Chain A
Amino acid sequence: DGGITQSPKYLFRKEGQNVTLSCEQNLNHDAMYWYRQDPGQGLRLIYYSQIVNDFQKGDIAEGYSVSREKKESFPLTVTSAQKNPTAFYLCASSDPGNQETQYFGPGTRLLVL
């Protein structure tokens, strides 16, 4: 079954800790993305990667870091520098050469204790 998986579904973080959210896709898509959703808000772009070993900052990259060592994987690290990390995090992928859409994973909810 082709798709995007995100783990874990819920993640708890203590103040001052870094946490890493996992995103894996088996759609053979070149491009991958991370978005954040806050209550009553739309999705906002954190980082994106159009190809392996390359990534770009989105609109709200401060306090986050990413890597793209493999085509299938695009992990997001929420660092202690992110002052308001509690949110719903969504990973997406796309095949811009052939399709107009991005496909989304099920999301990870991050809560700060």
Chain B
Amino acid sequence: DQQVKQNSPSLSVQEGRISILNCDYTNSMFDYFLWYKKYPAEGPTFLISISSIKDKNEDGRFTVFLNKSAKHLSLHIVPSQPGDSAVYFCAASRLRGGADGLTFGKGTHLIIQP
């Protein structure tokens, strides 16, 4: 049973526009949520995180929104740039730093069109 779901395998967005990537989770014990960016044959790179006591966290062009009641989070990238083209993974954990491991979604392939 998938505890973290990214229902869009791919997303195409024009350069300069907003990219919105969505993630749903089922385990109410998750308290920490992270977004990673990944290129093929490389390790994931951390982008941004949010804990369950917040509903929004911002870092430059990246903003993560958390709706605990809906068990839903989203990553907004504004404005989208060609270098943002990659696979984005949503991850969740019960403990800070994923101390007992992170649970990942299957990823969304973001394609930024010129």
Contacts and interface: CB of A to CB of B under 8 A. Distances in A.
- Chains A and B come from one and the same complex: yes
Contacts of B102: 33, 35, 43, 45, 102
A56 B43 contact: no
B41 to A, nearest CB: 7
Interface stretch (A65-73, A76-84, A92-100): A92-100
A50 B43 CA distance: 21
Contacts of A6: 43
Give the interface size class of chain A: 20 to 34
Interface majority SS on A: helix, strand, loop or mixed?
strand
Interface in A85-108: 88, 90, 92, 94-107
Interface of B: 4, 9, 32, 34, 36, 41-46, 49, 51, 89, 91, 95-107
Interface of A: 4, 6, 31, 33, 35, 40-45, 48, 50, 56, 58-59, 88, 90, 92, 94-107, 109
